[in-house]
Amino acid sequence: MRQIAAREGSVALFATLAATCVAPALTAALVCDPSLPLHSGTPSMFDPRSAPAEMILDITWLVIAICAVIFVVMEGLIIWAIIRYRAKHARDTAGDTGEPPQVYGSNPIELAWTVIPLLIVFVLFLVSARGIFEIDKQEPPPGALEVRVVGHRWWWEFDYGDLGFSTAAELHIPLTKDGQPQSVFLTLESADVIHSFWVPQLGGKKDVVPGRTNYLWLQPRETGRFVGQCAEYCGAQHAGMLINVVVHEEDDFNAWVANQQKPAHDDPATADGRDLFLSTACINCHTVRGTVANGTFAPDLTHLMSRSVLGSGVIANTPEHLRAWVWDPQDAKPGCDMPAMKLTREDTDRICAWLETLH
């Protein structure tokens, strides 16, 4: 019986481990700027605001419930065995042998602890597989928004394709006017290494793999700002590869799109800052539509000031942070591709004064 109790102990340990495997999904420990307005609670998968996220949570609860039952049954049996056989053990050790009778092998018990876990795993497998297929089989309905998401070390590019513009750090998506959720389909691509796109309140985690296109379906049912982050280790600034998703009412979204489609605002008052920018190596990496800057290695800056964050979310987009960033990006985001441009303080101010007009 002691042996059986020991085996049960290891099964209980296994069940506990299985439960802790769910733990990474339990809390999304996300780094985010506290100054950002989070309209929708915490970035937790236990607070879903989108159809696929709700489906995933249902499966998670089922897994947790099954693991909890296993845990209670196994721990109960162990405690029962400890209490039930403690007195007997004390009596036996007082006797000649010093050990209780040993039991070796029991076909019914061996069979039970093989078949029952197999059935449990089979049920969990079927339920998960059904959920995955249910989410993956979604096809974009007519009028659905499709956005191409490209993971770069270490920022996210959001290419709105036919709408004719590209942005970074913040993904803007619509909710339709009468509060009906609008389907959004993301195609996920990588420019370098494997990243993973995960906004826990809106959908499942999906890897972003070089040379492959993955798809992600979102169907937000609430407006607000949702945060997420790259969920696959991708180098020094993996933790600085944050995702902001802003869900708008349809009218607000259309207004946002109309603004993004415009070329860069041209303010004569800051023309010297613009000319300075256009004479530096900045233009090899950044695009500012309406100017000669057409680099594609770094975020499109055409409407930089419409974004609330810099450096893919590592700092809020304030005039102070913008100056610090242009002066030396390595300070806020060590390891990122953008070098300090070795500008003077005055030139940094002139360039930033122009950048601040890019609404």
Residue selected from 205, 238, 289, 333 as contacting ligand CUA according to rule CB under 6 A: 238
Beta strands 145-152 and 184-190 are: parallel
Residue selected from 234, 298, 310, 352 as contacting ligand CUA according to rule CB under 6 A: 234
* Segment lying near ligand CUA (by CB under 6 A), choices 210-218, 231-239, 280-288, 328-336: 231-239
Q: How many whole angstroms separate alpha carbon 157 and alpha carbon 170?
A: 9
For the segment 265-324, give every residue that binds ligand CUA (CB under 6 A).
none
Sign of CA dihedral 221, 227, 230, 231: negative
Q: How far is the CB of 162 from ligand CUA (least distance, A)?
A: 27
Sign of CA dihedral 212, 166, 334, 332: negative
Q: What is the 3-state secondary structure (H, E, C) of 146-200?
A: EEEEEEECCEEEEECHHHCCEEECEEEEEECCCCCCCCEEEEEEECCCCEEECCC
Q: How far is the CB of 216 from ligand CUA (least distance, A)?
A: 15
Q: How far is the CB of 341 from ligand CUA (least distance, A)?
A: 25
Q: How far is the CB of 234 from ligand CUA (least distance, A)?
A: 3
The verdict on 205 binding ligand CUA (CB under 6 A) reads: no
Here's the x/- map for ligand CUA, 151-170, by CB under 6 A: it reads as x--x----------------
The verdict on 195 binding ligand CUA (CB under 6 A) reads: yes
Q: How far is the CB of 169 from ligand CUA (least distance, A)?
A: 13
Nearest-Å Rg of the Cα atoms of the chain is 28
Q: How many whole angstroms separate alpha carbon 237 and alpha carbon 334?
A: 7
Cβ–Cβ < 8 Å for 236, 334:
yes
Residue selected from 8, 157, 170, 232 as contacting ligand CUA according to rule CB under 6 A: 232
Task: Point out which residues bind ligand CUA (CB under 6 A).
Answer: 151, 154, 195, 230, 232-234, 238, 241
